[in-house]
Structure formats: structure tokens, C-alpha cells
């Protein structure tokens, strides 16, 4: 099966990045949001990201219009009926994700692959909402999608080898390196990264070091591009809190228990870069 038309549900931080990357890789892309103004916001994000690439001379200016022309926006999920692959990238809420999978299963032809970009839910739970669990997989991208080189492919007990092969080829066609992981809490990266971020927040809470010094220490001492507190703001504190809660609930391991400071920031709507304020303030 050849993938040509890619559908992406959700045009937030991740969905907009996945849409841009797919269009840059030559795919025809349909991307959705719930509301027209959110779709518009996502499209503006994609345009701004392409402009940034042009400015950095990573993208020839004449390619921008062709790339953008390959991305169509919609607020109607029924429009996904012609997609070969649909990637769900909505907010990290299982009940909503399950609803999307159930609806996609009704409207897409039986050959369409359905993928989730979830960070912390079992992909198998979404697959149970469909009559095609063999064609359901996780395609877990990293933020910012165009820049980050990795895609985790999540295999549920029902995912077929053919689906995994197509998923791998698709990830590679986007220029990514692909790793395979079982459908387990946090997969590889979030399982290992979440305790580090939460410990960094606990250190700020207890006054062991400032957030700036923790970020500097990890950047320079471990050669990470950004420190854990800045990374939390980049991921989105609401998303991080949900990831931590989900893994904690499944593994019952207290290193995944969310610190108060994180909960308070989220309760106050300070969600990181995407809202202009998290642990740090942004322009
Ligand atoms: P986000 O809040 O930036 O974007 C989510 C978008 O989904 C919002 O714009 C929202 O309006 C939209 N949405 C909600 N319900 C919808 C629906 N029914 N139809 C269409 N759009 C809908 O969140 P994000 O950071 O882009 O995360 C999206 C998914 O990707 C989550 O599952 C998250 O766990 C996962 N993820 C996030 C990161 C990260 O670093 N932020 C990394 C990997 C994976």
C-alpha cells in the first residue's frame, strides 16, 4: 500500500509540525481543528515555521507556496474519508481520542491506517474503538516536529507486521530515524525523560537550585540542547502533567508523581511556551 494522502487531526504544536513535515516530504495533507479560528492559528504557525526555514536558508523561497498548497484545512472530520493514513494529534485526553478513532473507523475505507501521536496513553485502547485494530499504530513524533530526528513506532498486540512496515517506511520518508516499542506506559523517551523533568521541578520547589542553574547544569554538564525546566515549557505543562499522571497511574511508581508547582502552573493556565508563560516567560 502506498501512502499519498495523509490526514492529521489537531493543528496545535504537534499537528501543525506533522502537517508541515508531511507536506515538505511531498504528501498531500488534510489537517483539522475543531474551530475555524484554531485552524487559522495552526495554518499561521505552519507559515511562520516555513518562513523561519527560508530565513535560515534551509528552504528555498520558491518552494514555500508549493508546500503550503499541499496542506488543506478542515473543521469537518468527514473530510478524512480519502486519506491513506490519519494521524491523531489532539489534546492528551483519552475520551476524546477514543471518540476520534471510533468516528474515523466509520468514515475511512478499511485499508486506511490509523495512528495516534499520544505521549502516554495505550494505543491499544484507541484500537479497541475500531474494527481494524491490525491497522492501528502509534506514530510518536517529537517537538519541534520538523527538527527532531526521531519517531517512536508503537506496536499494540494487534498491530500487524504490514502496518508496522508501512509505518516505518512512512517515518523514514519524512527523514526520521524510527525506533519500535511495545504499547507500554511512556514508550521509550517519556518513560525515561519524565522522572528527570519532575525531579528538576522538585529541586526548584525545595530551593536546591534555581531553574536557570538547573537548566544550565544539564545543558552544559550533560550536553543536552536545553535543560529540563525549559524542556517542560516546550512540551507544554498541561501535556507534561497528563503524561506524568498517566504513567504514575499505570506504574504506581512515585518518581512519576507530579510536583505541586507543576499542578499550580497548569491550574493557573501557565502552560509553557504555547501560552507565553510557564516556568519562564516568553515574548
Ligand atoms: P496542543 O494543545 O498544542 O494541540 C492540540 C490541538 O488539538 C489543539 O489545537 C486543539 O484545539 C486540537 N483539538 C482538540 N480536539 C480536537 C478535535 N476533536 N479535532 C481536531 N482538533 C482538536 O497539544 P500538542 O502539544 O500538539 O499535543 C498533541 C498530542 O501530541 C498529544 O497527544 C500530546 O501528548 C502529543 N505529543 C506532544 C508532544 C509535545 O512535546 N507537546 C510531543 C509528542 C507528542
Whether the domain at 5-182 and the domain at 190-274 fall into the same CATH topology: no
For domain 5-182, which architecture applies?
3-Layer(aba) Sandwich (3.40)
pLDDT in the model for residue 83: 98
Flag whether pLDDT at 273 surpasses 90: yes
pLDDT in the model for residue 18: 98
| Residue 1 confidence class, pLDDT cut points 50, 70, 90 | confident
Cα angle 92, 70, 140; round to 5: 30
How far does residue 277's CA lie from ligand 1's centre (Å)?
Answer: 18
Determine the straight-line distance between the first and last CA of the chain, rounded to whole angstroms. 45
Q: What confidence tens digit (pLDDT) does each residue in 19-34 have? A: 999 999 999 999 999 9
CATH assignment, 190-274: 1.10.1040.10
Flag whether pLDDT at 260 surpasses 90: yes
Residue 275 in contact with ligand 1 by CB distance below 6 A: no
Residue 236 in contact with ligand 1 by CB distance below 6 A: yes
- How far apart, in whole angstroms, are the C-alpha atoms of residue 20 and residue 73? 12
What would the mean pLDDT of 60-71 be, rounded to a whole number?
Answer: 95
Percentage of the chain modeled with pLDDT above 90: 99
What would the mean pLDDT of 165-181 be, rounded to a whole number?
Answer: 98
What would the mean pLDDT of 144-169 be, rounded to a whole number?
Answer: 98
Residue 119 in contact with ligand 1 by CB distance below 6 A: yes
| Ligand 1 mutation pick, 239, 243, 247, 273, max ligand atoms within 8 A of CB | 239
- CA 228 from centre of chain: 18
Atom number of ligand 1 nearest to Cα 12: 4
Residues found in the chain: 283
pLDDT in the model for residue 8: 98
Residue ID of nearest Cα to ligand 1 atom 14: 90
Q: What confidence tens digit (pLDDT) does each residue in 71-110 have? A: 999 999 999 999 999 999 999 999 999 999 999 999 999 9
- How far apart, in whole angstroms, are the C-alpha atoms of residue 203 and residue 231? 15
Residue 12 in contact with ligand 1 by CB distance below 6 A: yes
pLDDT in the model for residue 283: 85
What would the mean pLDDT of 237-249 be, rounded to a whole number?
Answer: 97
Which residue ranges make up each domain of the chain? Answer: 5-182, 190-274
Average pLDDT, the chain: 97
Percentage of the chain modeled with pLDDT above 70: 100
Atom number of ligand 1 nearest to Cα 14: 26
DSSP string, the chain: ----EEEEE--SHHHHHHHHHHHHTT-EEEEE-SSHHHHHHHHHHHHHHHHHHHHTTSS-GGGHHHHHHTEEEES-GGGGGG-SEEEE---S-HHHHHHHHHHHHHHS-TT-EEEE--SSS-HHHHHTTSS-GGGEEEEE--SSTTT--EEEEEE-TT--HHHHHHHHHHHHHTT-EEEEEES-TTTTHHHHHHHHHHHHHHHHHTTSS-HHHHHHHHHHHS--SS-HHHHHHHH-HHHHHHHHHHHHHHH--GGGSPPHHHHHHHHTT--BGGGTBSSSB--
Q: Is 232 exposed, middle or buried (0-12, 13-18, 19+ CB in 10 A)?
A: buried
Flag whether pLDDT at 186 surpasses 90: yes
pLDDT in the model for residue 191: 97
Residue ID of nearest Cα to ligand 1 atom 43: 142
pTM of the predicted model as reported, rounded to 2 decimal places: 0.94
Scan for cell 507544554, then name that residue.
236
- How far apart, in whole angstroms, are the C-alpha atoms of residue 263 and residue 224? 25
| Cα–Cα nearest to 23, from 7, 38, 9, 10 | 7
Asked whether 180 and 155 are in contact (CB, 8 A), the reply is yes
Phi–psi pair at 161, nearest 5 degrees:
-60, -35
How far does residue 163's CA lie from ligand 1's centre (Å)?
Answer: 23
Amino acid at each position: 500500500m502506498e501512502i499519498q494522502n495523509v490526514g492529521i487531526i489537531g493543528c496545535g504544536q504537534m499537528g501543525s509540525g506533522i502537517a508541515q513535515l508531511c507536506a515538505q516530504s511531498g504528501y498531500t495533507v488534510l489537517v483539522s481543528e475543531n474551530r475555524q479560528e484554531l485552524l487559522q492559528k495552526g495554518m499561521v504557525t505552519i507559515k511562520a515555521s516555513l518562513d523561519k526555514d527560508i530565513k535560515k536558508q534551509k528552504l528555498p523561497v520558491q518552494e514555500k507556496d508549493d508546500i503550503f498548497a499541499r496542506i488543506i484545512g478542515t473543521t469537518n472530520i468527514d473530510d478524512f474519508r480519502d486519506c491513506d493514513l490519519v494521524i491523531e494529534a489532539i489534546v492528551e485526553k483519552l475520551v476524546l481520542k477514543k471518540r476520534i478513532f471510533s468516528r474515523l473507523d466509520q468514515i475511512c475505507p478499511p485499508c486506511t491506517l490509523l495512528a495516534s501521536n499520544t505521549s502516554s496513553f495505550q494505543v491499544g485502547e484507541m484500537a479497541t474503538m475500531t474494527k481494524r485494530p491490525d491497522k492501528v499504530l502509534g506514530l510518536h513524533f517529537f517537538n519541534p516536529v520538523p527538527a527532531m530526528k526521531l519517531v517512536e513506532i508503537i506496536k499494540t498486540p494487534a498491530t500487524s507486521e504490514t502496518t508496522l512496515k508501512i509505518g516505518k517506511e512512512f517515518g523514514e520518508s519524512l527523514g526520521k530515524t524510527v525506533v519500535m516499542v511495545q504499547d507500554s506506559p511512556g514508550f521509550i523517551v517519556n518513560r525515561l525523560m519524565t522522572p528527570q523533568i519532575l525531579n528538576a521541578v522538585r529541586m526548584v520547589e525545595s530551593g536546591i537550585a534555581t531553574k536557570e542553574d538547573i537548566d544550565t547544569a544539564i545543558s552544559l554538564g550533560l550536553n543536552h540542547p536545553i535543560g529540563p525546566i525549559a524542556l517542560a515549557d516546550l512540551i507544554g505543562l498541561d501535556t507534561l502533567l497528563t503524561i506524568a499522571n498517566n504513567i504514575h497511574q499505570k506504574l504506581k511508581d512515585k518518581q512519576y508523581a507530579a510536583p505541586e508547582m507543576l499542578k499550580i502552573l497548569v491550574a493557573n493556565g501557565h502552560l509553557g511556551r504555547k501560552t507565553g508563560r510557564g516556568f519562564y516567560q516568553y515574548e
